[in-house]
Structure 1
Amino acid sequence: MKKKLFLIIGAPGSGKTTDASIIAGRHMESIVHYSTGDMLREEVSSGSELGKTIDGFIAQGELVPLDIIMDTIISAIKNAPTDVVLIDGYPRSVEQMHALDKILDKEEEIELVSVIEVRVSEYVAKERILGRAAEAEVVRSDDSVEIFFDRMKIYTTPLEEIQTFYIKKDLLEVIDGERTLDLIVKEMEMFIVNKIWKPKIWCNVY
């Protein structure tokens, strides 16, 4: 069975990871969610040499090298326990986008169904990040004002080219990420479900 892949992109603080995890949690038998950030942080927490290298990039708000990212992404998809895979936080650069596109052109077992952009303003993203840092008992190394702006620049610099690339492929779906969590998740879930299953199944979900 071909793996059906959904990529979810959005600024830091857009809520993309939370949205995807909730949806996967509601469809555990058919959908799995991976966050590139979480996968990389798991490697860091393992204490491996690779993890130490990754930590240096994350702590500075910089992109992790492409070969490390690609190995992580493709391995996660192929080893996924379900046929539908949600991956958030990828691509974060034009280079990452083209690298994945070349691989998917050769991969008969993986189909990129859609790229979902959870869109929020820089102001909203910053308020969410700073709020998360203030409320956390243990502040993440990448939850500071300086690092936030570095991460925003990394995200926004290639964004227009990434959007244009996937629009031409008729794969980009934009969701307003400044609404309540329930509304955002419901719209994203409906979109994913309708892309995969027949509409009548959606009626049975709610």
Structure 2
Amino acid sequence: MKKLFLIIGAPGSGKTTDAQLIAQHNTDSIVHYSTGDLLREEVASGSEQGKIIDSFISKGNLVPLDIVVSTILNALANAPKDVIIIDGYPRSVEQMQALDEKLKSQNQVELISVIEVQVSEAVARYRVLGRARGADDNAEV
């Protein structure tokens, strides 16, 4: 059975960096996925699901929860390693409940832990404004 770890935290908390470092130091046993990357890869694949995702992303809309969860579950099922780290998901209780419901109905992947990366608001603001990579990299977020 595959083991799943979720890393959550505010924008700029370092969750992606932490997940990448953990995976890089354990390349033989751990794979890391970012939810945004999974969605972009699905779009790039040209699949039917990718076309649906693109229809939302291209208009600046959020991808529906069921599609996000389906994309994550597909990545988990096809993960090349038995330990998987996903960063940036969930962002809400509703998102966690949706994933948890699906995980409970199968026996291929077990959620082991949700790890929260915490930093002060000042540090998060400094990091987000310093990177300014996307529309959500602003002081309000």
TM-score normalised to structure 1 length: 0.60
Q: CA deviation at 1:57?
A: 3.8
Q: CA deviation at 1:132?
A: 1.0
Q: 2:51 matched to 1:53? A: no
* CA–CA separation in structure 1 for the residues paired with 2:44 and 2:81: 26
In 2 relative to 1, CA 73–129 (structure 1 residues): closer, same or farther, beyond 3 Å?
same
Can you give the 5+ residue segments of structure 1 that lack an aligned partner in the other structure? Answer: 134-138, 153-206
Greater length-normalized contact order (CA 8 Å, ≥ 6 residues apart): 2
Q: Which has the higher helix share?
A: 1
Among 120, 136, 139, the residue aligned to 1:142: 136
Deviation string, structure 1 residues 26-64 (Cα, Å, up to 9, x no partner): 111210000002222344566864324124346xxxx43
* DSSP-derived class of the 1:112 partner: strand
Q: CA deviation at 1:69?
A: 0.8
Matches for 1:4-19 after TM superposition, within 5 Å = 4-19=3-18
- Aligned match of 2:102: 103
Q: Percent identity?
A: 62
* Bigger Cα Rg: 1
* CA–CA separation in structure 1 for the residues paired with 2:45 and 2:106: 30
* CA–CA separation in structure 2 for the residues paired with 1:97 and 1:129: 24
* DSSP-derived class of the 1:90 partner: coil
Can you give the 5+ residue segments of structure 2 that lack an aligned partner in the other structure? Answer: none
TM-score normalised to structure 2 length: 0.85
Letter in 1 for 2:136: D
- Aligned match of 1:197: none
- Aligned match of 2:63: 64
